[in-house]
Structure 1
Amino acid sequence: MLPEYNFKTVFPTVQPHTSYLLISQDALLNNLRTLRRRISAPIMAVIKNNGYGLGLSAYTALLYDQGIRDFGLIDCQEALALSARYPKATFYLLAPISNPDSLCAAIRCGNIVLHIGSEQEIQQLRIAQRHTGKKARVQLKLDTGFGRYGFLPNQLQSVLQAAQLFILDGIYTHFSEPYADASFTKKQFSLFMQLLSRLQSHGIHPRLRHCCASGAALKYPQMHLDMVRLGAAIPGMVPDASSYELQPCCRYCAKLISRKRLPEGWHVGYGRHTVLHHATQVGILQAGAMAGCFIHRQESKLNPLRYFYRGACSVFHSKKLLVEIAGRQVPILGAIGMNHLAIDLDHCSANIGDFALFAVNPAFCPPSLPRLFCSKLPQEDLSCNY
């Protein structure tokens, strides 16, 4: 067990850095326990995009130690590296691989399951099979309305061909709007089940059928089938996470690198949107949009009412973005820059070199940002900053 989170014992180990990502192991383990309690189907942990920003190597090790043996990725080189480290795990690629050498290497591994969703991919994989002299393990993707990867409903003949040419591990699909559009999600699920039934009538019985990523896994237990793909849910990065008893697992930590007093009437930040109404102590943190700070989920065009509602709320009941520093919550001033942001230190005794903390979506944090695992996070309510 990692030691209790403590500024004085943790921060000296990362002093050379002006910012880093603090990750709570306790929160991750709590979320995994909660999800296992809610979901009866086996879990595929999706670890794409640097393990959802938590650091691919450390995050995979933590999940493996907790008994996870099925992992989803989109990068073949990452799958190859992890498959050698964890030979008893299975790594499912969730996107096409076009590089012939990578295809051959994945086939030779034996514990990598390749994605097939088009006739072109079938032909590429047939060539790779001939080069290796070994049959490829595959899962077939059906496009039920997402419009990205996968065979269309009128291409079942190609699906039948692929099922005979390769070792068929599974068949899956992907929902486009599970959080907001129940009707279309159910329509996609119904189509998926119809297509599976037609394939079964031709003698195709995949070991795994799966369609639920995090959102659908939480909202539609009747759709769990043989496996669910959990990516954002394990770090607690889904909408209304607290209603599912999921905890945020990260805090961004940025060092205070400047502090000065600005006069009344002075502007702060790009665009001159913020004007100081009185002389103010202003601090600068070396953290900004390039590091994933305060990047919000893109509004869905399918939900214009929600978009306008939030816009109205922002006008009549503006909620300030806050950071925690020196034991106090202080507001951000002005627009967030690429690499810097300003904070109001008028009633805060923070000194240059102190660290500020705020909530962040780790998936937007660059791989170069140092990751530090600890036991617990500070308890301040900074959830509004997501």
Structure 2
Amino acid sequence: MSRYPARAVVDLGAIRSNVRALAAHAPTAQVMAVVKADGYGHGLLPVARAAVDGGATWLGAAQADEALALRADGLTCRVLTWLHAPGVPMEALLHADVDVAVAAPWALDAVVAAARATGRTARVHLKVDTGLGRNGLMPDQLPAVLDAALRAQAEGALQVTGVWSHFAFADEPEHPTVRRQAEVFADAVRLVEGAGATLEVRHLANSAATLTNPSVHYDLVRPGLAIYGLSPVPQLGGPGAYGLTPAMTLEADLATVKRVPGGHGVSYAHAYTTPTDTVLGVVPIGYADGVPRHASGSLPQRPGGPVRVGGRRTAVAGRVCMDQFVVDLGPDARDAAGDRVELFGTGADGGPTAEEWAQAAGTISYEIVTRVGARVPRVYVGERDGGPADDRAGAVAAQSAGGAA
């Protein structure tokens, strides 16, 4: 079997611990672990199982196929899916006992039709656009959709089990829109309950609101990024400030190490030129694997994304290419082909982090982890309560032998 020269090591023990930490931040609410986008790039099913083991009672998946995969894997907790276009396999979702969001009038019609066709009662969460301007019913649409939903509920086609919304500025807790959206949401909840719906859950808080705004925890919080140990409010505090541990470490093996003279151009367009005689290392992972090209390093004074080699930090030198990038290891380097390169990890021991890559690329840590490409094997550690120290070496060795876990 082939061996890929890079891997994303995912600590499932960290996932479990992060869920417990988030539950402690919201002690009056249940926790929905949002596992959309293949578990934010960490792997849908392993992450979902770890999150449930950590205490999550709900799982959230944007797409219907993700929700169905969770059920096919045998997960029996409540599952919500919410981002649908016409043609969504609604009947399959109802057969799988998946809660579905209604964010537009057509979606309610689709739910009712599927319920009548299957003879199953749909569990519906009404999505209200409280100010994000994205998916969801506008407040002035809600009364008519609610009336139609309650008529369908009376015939047994569905049950309105939830009302929810999403913040635009939750990562800026003092932004005036946060309070305004909370007020609009409270009005929507009053309208729905006043019309006779018995709600199981009301949910508004994402990761940032879970950590910073207890007033909007309601019955259920929906952390996504924080499940994976990254801070949604890095300007207020890193993961450690909230009891979180980053779960993914992205690493690769040096492919080529060679000495070059000063003034030597590096990678496409020679955006980086060696300032002196030095040693260059080629890292065989590139933008096809999710390494952001925007994190290229142009000049020695403007380094790119950070990496660690042999216990010391350096950075991308020159343009990130499709399958590789170069690092300047320094004139005294003794590194060799096959040595480990860490792109990002927990940061606990001074190594680079996903947040640092986000800053280097002008983006957010969400994008850094979710963009890690499918050809990079995910290696899972921490499956036992003993933690990753017990099984990391074995899992990585298995991947190196060609059998990625």
TM-score bucket of the superposed structures, by smaller chain: 0.7 to 0.9
One-letter amino acid matched to 1:25: L
One-letter amino acid matched to 1:116: V
**Residue 87 of structure 2 corresponds to which residue in structure 1?**
99
- Which structure's relative contact order is higher, taking Cα pairs within 8 Å and 6+ residues apart? 1
**Residue 372 of structure 1 corresponds to which residue in structure 2?**
379
Task: Decide whether the 8 Å contact of 1:55 with 1:367 is kept in 2.
Answer: no
**Residue 9 of structure 2 corresponds to which residue in structure 1?**
22
1:1-386 to 2 correspondences below 5 Å = 16-40=3-27, 41-86=29-74, 88-99=76-87, 102-110=89-97, 112-155=98-141, 156-165=143-152, 166-180=158-172, 182-238=175-231, 239=234, 240=237, 241-294=239-292, 321-346=305-330, 347-359=332-344, 360=354, 361-374=368-381, 375-376=387-388
Task: Decide whether the 8 Å contact of 2:15 with 2:54 is kept in 1.
Answer: no
Task: Decide whether the 8 Å contact of 1:151 with 1:159 is kept in 2.
Answer: no
**Residue 9 of structure 1 corresponds to which residue in structure 2?**
none
Deviates more, 1:142-151 or 1:346-355: 346-355
Deviates more, 1:184-193 or 1:345-354: 345-354
Deviation of 1:202 (Å): 1.8
Q: 1:137 to 1:176 in 2, by over 3 A?
A: same
- What root-mean-square deviation, in Å, do the aligned CA atoms of Structure 1 and Structure 2 show? 2.5
Deviation of 1:189 (Å): 0.6
Deviation of 1:268 (Å): 1.2
User: TM-score, structure 1 length as denominator?
Assistant: 0.83
Q: 1:225 to 1:363 in 2, by over 3 A?
A: same
One-letter amino acid matched to 1:236: G
User: TM-score, structure 2 length as denominator?
Assistant: 0.79
Q: 1:69 to 1:97 in 2, by over 3 A?
A: farther
Deviation of 1:62 (Å): 1.3
What CA deviation, in whole Å up to 9, does each residue of 1:252-288 have, x standing for no partner? 1112111222222111123422111212211110112
Deviation of 1:114 (Å): 0.9
Q: 1:160 to 1:271 in 2, by over 3 A?
A: farther
> Which residues of structure 1 form unaligned runs of 5+?
1-13, 298-313, 379-386
Q: 1:60 to 1:344 in 2, by over 3 A?
A: same
One-letter amino acid matched to 2:242: Y
Deviation of 1:318 (Å): 5.9
Q: 1:49 to 1:145 in 2, by over 3 A?
A: same
What CA deviation, in whole Å up to 9, does each residue of 1:96-140 have, x standing for no partner? 25325x211111222x00110111111222222222122211111
**Residue 10 of structure 1 corresponds to which residue in structure 2?**
none
The alignment partner of 2:240 has SS state of helix
Deviation of 1:294 (Å): 4.9
Deviation of 1:74 (Å): 1.5
Q: 1:364 to 1:148 in 2, by over 3 A?
A: same
Task: Decide whether the 8 Å contact of 1:253 with 1:358 is kept in 2.
Answer: yes
Task: Decide whether the 8 Å contact of 2:293 with 2:320 is kept in 1.
Answer: no
Q: 1:333 to 1:87 in 2, by over 3 A?
A: closer
Alignment partners' CA distance in 2, 1:117 and 1:320: 41
Alignment partners' CA distance in 1, 2:376 and 2:303: 28
Alignment partners' CA distance in 2, 1:349 and 1:164: 74
**Residue 304 of structure 1 corresponds to which residue in structure 2?**
none
One-letter amino acid matched to 1:182: H
Q: 1:58 to 1:90 in 2, by over 3 A?
A: same
Matched residues, number: 346
Task: Decide whether the 8 Å contact of 1:209 with 1:227 is kept in 2.
Answer: yes
Alignment partners' CA distance in 2, 1:333 and 1:34: 38
Q: 1:69 to 1:327 in 2, by over 3 A?
A: same
What CA deviation, in whole Å up to 9, does each residue of 1:168-226 have, x standing for no partner? 12110010111125210110010110121122222223111000111111110111001
One-letter amino acid matched to 1:188: Q
Task: Decide whether the 8 Å contact of 2:21 with 2:244 is kept in 1.
Answer: yes
Alignment partners' CA distance in 1, 2:39 and 2:213: 25
**Residue 308 of structure 1 corresponds to which residue in structure 2?**
none
Alignment partners' CA distance in 2, 1:149 and 1:250: 30
Task: Decide whether the 8 Å contact of 1:46 with 1:72 is kept in 2.
Answer: yes
Alignment partners' CA distance in 2, 1:202 and 1:25: 43
Alignment partners' CA distance in 1, 2:42 and 2:214: 27
> Which residues of structure 2 form unaligned runs of 5+?
153-157, 345-353, 355-367, 382-386, 393-405
The alignment partner of 1:21 has SS state of strand
Alignment partners' CA distance in 1, 2:294 and 2:170: 19
Task: Decide whether the 8 Å contact of 1:76 with 1:97 is kept in 2.
Answer: no
Q: 1:274 to 1:319 in 2, by over 3 A?
A: closer
